[in-house]
Structure 1
């Protein structure tokens, strides 16, 4: 079921990107990756402040995490707050990007590739949607609730996205887990 939902989200993302066209979607994608770069450098100071506002369920000794050991899961709240701070900065960047790109709507009528412009726009948006899906699943993987962990235990697609996403899995495990937990 999760796999079908992910495929549906990616198909809709392809359609939206195709409708926008490559130049407009490229503007969105560049804005999102600029937000990504800003988030990489500014999330840690925000993470310490989020501990007061964002709840994190406590880990019990019998909690079974899919991706983390028992020792890691006891300190995983720090990585969780770092991830939530990162996503918050990304969300603010998404809002700013969307606001700016509204004024570039005439790019919808420009073409980079005459016949295949819609395909390029769709692929740009699928890339962006995949990164968002990865972020959501990666943060969910840090929550020590049995119902959330069962998603990863029972659904191959969710587990594969978190563990084997090209560059993303390695980067965010190092950025959010290894560098924070040591």
Structure 2
């Protein structure tokens, strides 16, 4: 983590709403201690219902569903609110893909304010387009190469937010499919 950069991990939560102060890792001088910053986050997990009428797809968001079924699409949405009264520097927002689901789609794409990366190893390494090493046989020879990891292999989504102004609120989200 670069000096001046703060990071937090949103805990894995299935079908629960969390409102809590954001815990950020301290900067270079105290990388091993955890400090509370005046940024709050809320993690919502909502059901996305899609209906097709006359060839047109319409989506309805069902907030805090009591039950979900295999194949259901869920929206994982983190809301960040800067309550510090001052500008907050760079933040790393790391959201694990919940157990029992698989990554389906990003709904908050890159902007000039944040960039998104993905992990396929539980958050140890991140990339814009994660790859896997595969070994195949071609023309009787064993060949090892890097190929794009399938979306189902994604374990974490991380946004790097350049900063937040006082009282600013940001919403970042992606979708998962229930296994």
For the aligned pair, the TM-score class normalised by the smaller chain equals under 0.3
Q: TM-score, normalised by structure 2?
A: 0.26
Q: TM-score, normalised by structure 1?
A: 0.26
**Which structure: greater helix fraction?**
1
Structure showing greater relative contact order (alpha-carbon pairs closer than 8 Å, 6 or more residues apart): 1
